[in-house]
Amino acid sequence: MTTEQYTETEKKNMETVRRLLHGFADGNVEQIDELVHKNFTNHNAPEGLQDRDGFRTIVERAHGAFSTFDTFKLNPVQLFAKDDHVAMMDVGEGSKDGRPYCHADIHLFVMKDGKMFEHWNSFGLPSQHDQLMTFLGAGK
């Protein structure tokens, strides 16, 4: 779909998700309350981190890990919206200690009142998480 084929609400929802992605890269947790609904549920997060406060912690931890890289960038590869649903695939690429790193992550969001209300993602699955932990541990 071209941008013109989306409704204004769908465009705003995609921009909210895009802003969140950049927040992971730069550690901007101040925007969480603006982007994430107060009754948010992060379905793939570990127990205790499934609400908005837990999501803030996840952003802080992810930024902390990625900030140890020599270079790192998160790029949205695909971004789609239909009504109150947004799907995104992003790729994280960088290097640490001269070793290249790359991961792909798929996100599904349900939006409510212009904010992220529910979230599922593939990075929350053990294989993606283990890939990053192995990479970080190998650099020690």
End-to-end alpha-carbon separation of the chain, Å? 44
Residue 50 has φ and ψ, to the nearest 5°, of -90, -5
**Would you state the structure tokens that stand for residue 123, as one six-digit string?**
């990075």
Residue 31 has φ and ψ, to the nearest 5°, of -85, -5
Per-residue pLDDT tens listing for the chain (140 residues): 566 799 999 999 999 999 998 887 787 888 999 999 999 999 989 899 999 999 999 888 888 888 999 999 999 999 999 999 999 999 999 999 999 998 888 999 999 999 999 999 986 555 666 766 677 776 54
135: left (phi over 0), alpha (psi -120 to 50) or beta: alpha
Contact between residue 32 and residue 55 where contact means Cβ atoms under 8 Å apart: yes
- Stated pTM of the model: 0.83
Here the CATH number for the domain that contains residue 61 is: 3.10.450.50
Number of domains in the chain: 1
Q: Which domain range does residue 95 map to?
A: 3-138
